[in-house]
Chain A
């Protein structure tokens, strides 16, 4: 029973890339530009630089100097994390791995010349371009709401100042007031995220504003980890949380940020705090590069390359790939597959078959964590689910505490994997 690499590699479609001649030789170092320094982009930049040992010129274009993770931001709202716990910088990517980190915006992508233009005026050429721009919001998806209204009705669905604003509003809400969340339609970033957020807001209200109400206006029939959340809400926050689904007309919702009202199919709810999480689409850079089809950027499941351009790759929330949920964990997993394929294409290094994983932990109440996860593989038309698991209702407190502690470990591991 011996292992024959040739046989094994011969079975994977990715083997073709390993055996073919390097795409770029004798023209100086191959250049990779990574746009977006989040879970997908930072991971891809780090793995490319680390594994190529300087053979690839890696540039990471990211406007902000400090990245605030969207994952775990609900725990900040719940008072279990501080802002500084969520902030990470790019110093080690530069000093320890040789990534050239450029803090700027991409304002143009010229696919014919294979170059990106930055707001600062520079034009940078690439051999391979990796886009990991996260999400933007679909205009008009919640009539009455727009980016101009994001201070009155925060989305808090990108890490950073919006998260702080929403928490401040939650903490300052009048006694016995109403917190309304307009939940997004599928597909969107972090499927259990809105419901973990409700849990963390309820956790604050239980301590500081026990007569407060939470109303979720949800256009979806059902949602991620629903049974687990409902069990937990009943147990910890009995009577505080109400959810209006499509049977209450929740897909016909409009808001009035001036009046702070939410109109659910003709029924007016007066909100003291209103968290509007609109429908989502790929971050703007993907659209700018012309690799989107509808709201998202379709990719090949073997290497995350765009279906519109073989030299562009799209990672994370922005891509349309198949069964993986849009999550930081997914983006990180996709980035490693992509980095392996890009390095192989540029330097001739071995390319191994794609393997993907995702796990999402959610916190229902302090020390009561649950999780859902799955493994995925590349099939001819999509990234397809292989196997999965989910926490069970009725689990004992020790297991739930261990699950929460595991999520802390994951956060530490994940951010170390992204930022070094």
Chain B
């Protein structure tokens, strides 16, 4: 069966040149950013306007740009652990209100994965160490997360997921607090599923997670993803 990499270049983009589309086109991103510029400034001297300035966005916790008054929704998302990097920005820019219900941002989102990749590539140029893009954390592409699209498409049972999640909650706090163990409550569904399969297949290495994910079936991972999705506001 054909396999698709979970990345900005999702299934719809697979026919395009893989490397170029994954990295994004900075020049095209700059043109696309015109849609954002009426509210957001980026680059030298950028200031908060209708929306927060976007310099050093990568690695920033959501809702923490200095001097900007955020919506309650964003403050909550930030305190729950939402942090901006390529994966989360991609999810946000696809449908802002899905990731942060209650955001004041009225922009409906970029439907085309390539558009999002290009805008993200443009924005990455205004964050520290742009040479790293898309290499090291926090901007690393999770290219080891190869998941069969049929597995991604599975609809999980949130009630079963809630039961299974009790195993996660011994260590991962539902408050989203991060203390030696990362928060998982705000992960986009696909990212969650891909990450769990990466642990299951030992593409991502961590003995506890390899062990726990290793005995979860595809349906169980889908159930967990469905449950954790219900935890958002």
The chain A residues found within 8 Å of chain B, CB to CB, are 1-3, 5, 8, 47, 51, 329, 332-333, 336, 340, 350, 352, 355, 357, 359, 371, 373-375, 386-389, 391, 402, 404-410, 412-414, 416-417
Q: Which of B8-16, B93-101, B166-174 contacts A (4 or more CB under 8 A)?
A: B166-174
The chain B residues found within 8 Å of chain A, CB to CB, are 150, 154-157, 159-160, 162-164, 166-167, 169-175, 177-181, 207-208, 210-212, 214-215, 218-219, 222
Given contacts A406-B180, A406-B181, A416-B174, A389 and B211 within 8 Å (CB-CB):
yes
Partner of A408, one of B179, B208, B219: B179
Q: Which residue of B lies closest to A410 (CB)?
A: B171
Interchain CB contact under 8 A, A47 and B219: no
A333 to B208, CA, bound (A): 15
Interchain CB contact under 8 A, A340 and B169: no
Interchain CB contact under 8 A, B180 and A416: no
| Min CB–CB distance B166 → chain A (angstroms) | 4
Task: Kindly name the residue among A3, A374, A414 whose own CB sees the greatest number of chain B CB atoms within 10 A.
Answer: A3
| Chain A residues, Cβ within 8 Å of B173 | 412-413, 416
Interchain CB contact under 8 A, B215 and A375: yes
| Chain A residues, Cβ within 8 Å of B155 | 3
Interchain CB contact under 8 A, A355 and B180: no
Count contacts between A and B, CB distance < 8 Å: 95
Interchain CB contact under 8 A, A413 and B181: yes
Interchain CB contact under 8 A, B154 and A3: yes
Interchain CB contact under 8 A, A355 and B170: no
Given contacts A1-B150, A357-B212, A406-B180, A413 and B169 within 8 Å (CB-CB):
yes
Interchain CB contact under 8 A, B160 and A329: no
Q: Which residue of B lies closest to A335 (CB)?
A: B166
| Min CB–CB distance A165 → chain B (angstroms) | 29
A340 to B173, CA, bound (A): 20
Given contacts A329-B170, A417-B166, 12 further A-B contacts (CB under 8 A): A3-B154, A3-B157, A47-B166, A332-B170, A333-B170, A336-B167, A352-B163, A355-B215, A374-B211, A389-B211, A404-B180, A413-B181
| Min CB–CB distance B12 → chain A (angstroms) | 22
| Chain B residues, Cβ within 8 Å of A336 | 163, 166-167
Interchain CB contact under 8 A, A405 and B180: yes
| Chain A residues, Cβ within 8 Å of B208 | 359, 371, 373, 389, 406
| Chain A residues, Cβ within 8 Å of B160 | 5, 350, 352
9 A-B pairs closest in CB distance: A409-B181, A409-B180, A405-B180, A389-B207, A3-B219, A336-B166, A413-B171, A408-B180, A352-B163
| Min CB–CB distance B2 → chain A (angstroms) | 14
Task: Write 5 A-B pairs (CB below 8 A) sorted by A numbering.
Answer: A3-B157, A387-B211, A389-B211, A406-B208, A417-B170
